[in-house]
Amino acid sequence: MSTPSFVSPSQIRAQFSAAMSAMYKNEVPLYGDLMDLVADVNQRCLDNDPALREHLENTNELARLDEERHGAIRVGTAQELHTIRRLFAVMGMSPVGYYDLAPAGVPVHSTAFRALHEDELKQSPFRVFTSLLRLELIDDEALRNEAAEILSRRQIFTPGAIALIEKHEQQGGLDAADAEQFVKEALETFRWHTAATVTSAQYDALHDQHRLIADVVAFKGPHINHLTPRTLDIDAVQEQMPQRGITPKAVIEGPPTRQHAILLRQTSFKALNEAVRFTDQGDDAQGSHTARFGEIEQRGAALTAKGRDLYDQLLTATREEMGGAPTEANAQQYYQTLAKHFEAFPDDLVELFKQDLAYFVYTPTAQGLAKKGKYPADISMTQLVEDGDVRLDTIVYEDFLPVSAAGIFQSNLGDSGTAEYKQMSNQELFERDLGSAVMDEQRLYQEQSQRSLAQCFAALGL
């Protein structure tokens, strides 16, 4: 049955992303201030850097820039993760990548739900970093059982959301009215609730185990804990945050400042202290909980497996030299050490291409098109690039980084609780709970780059 009246999943995702942003701005006004700062910085970058503007135009990123954001949630049970996957599927979002945060002392493992194809990403790049609490990492058995029991009693989806997810699965889509209703219903799952589901004593016990455990277990649902706009100059945002009354975390996570940005750089501001009401308390909220925060990201080139290995190696070397994760006290020294190690990572497009370190889209130039039909059949892309017949643009990295994610978690969990969990990462178990395999992000970038390569050769008559 084909029903032409279905709204595209990308349209639903765009609507949902806008609704989420409006809700979060209302709940956390500092997020609005941060968006204003990011908009100012981005405008200045575009005015001052015509090459950057041209690159973003060429890769369809300019139009989506103002719409671009990611959020993060933490769910408590396999059942919740499973249903969240079905909910995101309505919006054309699939699980990409597996992130194990346990080695960094955070008892979760995660994936990112996002659109897969560049045409869909262009319409809405909205993504949600989604973590599943690993209760099995709680060593106190009584507390572990109590947490599981509390979680088993909650229902984080509205009946309306469930009904529309099922309708979507049966029909293969939703019409405009259903889509609008779906966005409303789905939003409820991510809303903040002042009323906790536990007593203050239960909260304290969970919190003493790990603040994250309290955040997941003590509330009615997986409130969105941050929403992150994309900036073109994260150094400028980090520097200007204090002037706007926002306190940033100690260091920017990820690679250093470069001419050609790679992967992902992130920083955040400290979580808010919010009033909550425990079940043993009266109507006036008396307790407090810190969970929700703000984050900014700058996205750069997706790296090939070879490039990613080099990145991991240089980051590890930096951290080893520093004797661990950076702190407020050694931030400047950390940046210097990071920059020193990353001198080994080429910062020139042609070099990145020749050494197969990053993924590219290939655009024939006017000069190249003029030579159509006159090329030797065996001419290589390297030759075309070097002759100026093909323009290189890096493909933007759409995913996350586990070491950085751990840094973002930690900055908002307080610097205590950094015990390492020794248990093995367990992608298989995660995928079983999720109800599907996670996509391999390398494959997605490879395919995009192959598509572009084929189109470019075809346009040049090769």
Gap between the Cα atoms of 83 and 411, Å rounded: 29
Q: How far is the CB of 54 from ligand OOG (least distance, A)?
A: 28
Q: Which of 295, 393, 433, 441 lies at the binding interface for Ni ion (CB under 5 A)?
A: 295
331 neighbors 251 (Cβ within 8 angstroms): yes
129 lines the binding site for ligand OOG (CB under 6 A)? yes
State yes or no: residue 398 binds Ni ion (CB under 5 A): no
The binder of ligand OOG chosen from 42, 77, 124, 131 (CB under 6 A): 131
3-state secondary structure of 208: helix
Q: x/- binding map, residues 113-152, to Ni ion, per CB under 5 A?
A: ----------------------------------------
Residue nearest to ligand OOG (CB): 405
Query: In this chain, which of 17, 404, 448, 452 binds ligand OOG, going by CB under 6 A?
Result: 404
* CA–CA gap between residue 292 and residue 271 (Å, rounded): 5
* Residue 127 zone, left/alpha/beta (φ > 0; ψ -120 to 50; rest): beta
Say which entry of ligand OOG, Ni ion, none residue 116 contacts (CB below 5 to 8 A, set by partner kind).
none
What distance in Å separates the CA atoms of residue 4 and residue 172, rounded to the nearest whole number? 11
Q: Does 189 bind ligand OOG (CB under 6 A)?
A: no
CA 367 to chain CA centroid, Å, is 38
Q: How far is the CB of 8 from Ni ion (least distance, A)?
A: 26
Query: Whose structure tokens read 């992303």?
Result: 17
Q: Smallest distance, Å, CB 123 to ligand OOG? A: 22
- Which are the contacts of 455, defined by CB distance < 8 A and separation ≥ 6? 362
Identify which of residues 304 and 411 has a Cβ nearer to Ni ion in the complex.
411
Considering the complex, what minimum distance in angstroms separates the CB of residue 400 from Ni ion?
7
> 199 phi and psi, to 5 degrees?
-75, 165
Of 129 and 269, nearer to ligand OOG (C-beta) is 129
Query: Per-residue DSSP letters for 25-66?
Result: HHH-HHHHHHHHHHHHHHHHHHHH-HHHHHHHHHTT-TTTGG
Q: Is 314 helix (H, G, I), strand (E, B) or coil?
A: helix
For residue 129 the two structure tokens come to: 């970093």
Q: Which of 142-150, 301-309, 360-368, 398-406 is the region at the interface with ligand OOG (rule: CB under 6 A)?
A: 398-406
Query: How far is Cα 360 from Cα 358, in angstroms, rounded to an integer?
Result: 7
The one among 35, 72, 251, 276 contacting ligand OOG by CB under 6 A: 72
Interaction with ligand OOG in 258-287: which residues (CB under 6 A)?
266
Nearer to ligand OOG, 138 or 408 (CB): 408
225 binds, among Ni ion, ligand OOG, none (CB under 5 to 8 A by kind): ligand OOG
Q: CA torsion angle for 187, 224, 220, 406 (degrees, to 10)?
A: 150
Phi and psi, residue 280, nearest 5° = -95, 10
Q: Does 400 participate in binding ligand OOG (rule CB under 6 A)?
A: yes
- Alpha carbons 448 and 456: distance in angstroms, whole number: 12
Minimum CB separation of residue 269 from ligand OOG in Å reads 13
Contacting range for ligand OOG; rule: CB under 6 A; set: 273-281, 364-372, 404-412, 437-445: 404-412
With CB under 5 to 8 Å by kind, the binding choice for 209 among ligand OOG, Ni ion, none is none
Provide the token pair at 298. Answer: 């700058």
409 binds ligand OOG (CB under 6 A): yes
Do residues 75 and 423 touch, judged by C-beta distance below 8 A?
no
Q: Which is nearer to Ni ion, 165 or 408 (CB)?
A: 408
Given the complex with Ni ion, which of 246 and 460 has the nearer CB atom?
246
Task: Tell me, residue by residue from 220 to 259, as one string, x for binding to Ni ion by CB under 5 A and - for no binding.
Answer: --------x-------------------------------
Q: Are 269 and 249 in contact (CB under 8 A)?
A: yes
Alpha helices in 96-158 (DSSP H): 118-123, 141-152
* Residue 408 within binding range of ligand OOG, rule CB under 6 A: yes
Q: Which of 165, 214, 262, 405 binds ligand OOG (CB under 6 A)?
A: 405
Question: Rounded to the nearest whole angstrom, what is the least distance from the CB of residue 225 to ligand OOG in the complex?
Answer: 5
Token duo for residue 19: 């609704």
Residue 113 is a binding residue for ligand OOG (CB under 6 A): no
34 vs 164, beta carbon nearer ligand OOG? 34
Give kind and range of the element (H or E) at residue 394: strand 390-394
Determine the 3-state secondary structure of 97 from DSSP. strand
Q: Which helix (H) or strand (E) holds 347?
A: none
Question: How far from 153 is each of 120, 141, 218, 434, CA to CA, in Å?
Answer: 37, 19, 11, 20
Instruction: Examine residue 31 and tell whether it contacts ligand OOG (CB under 6 A).
Output: no
Taking CB under 5 A as the binding criterion, the range among 214-222, 240-248, 289-297, 370-378 that sits at the site for Ni ion is 289-297
Q: Which residues bind Ni ion (CB under 5 A)?
A: 72, 228, 295
Please give the residue ranges that form the binding site for ligand OOG (CB under 6 A): 72, 74, 129, 131, 225, 266, 295, 400, 404-405, 408-409
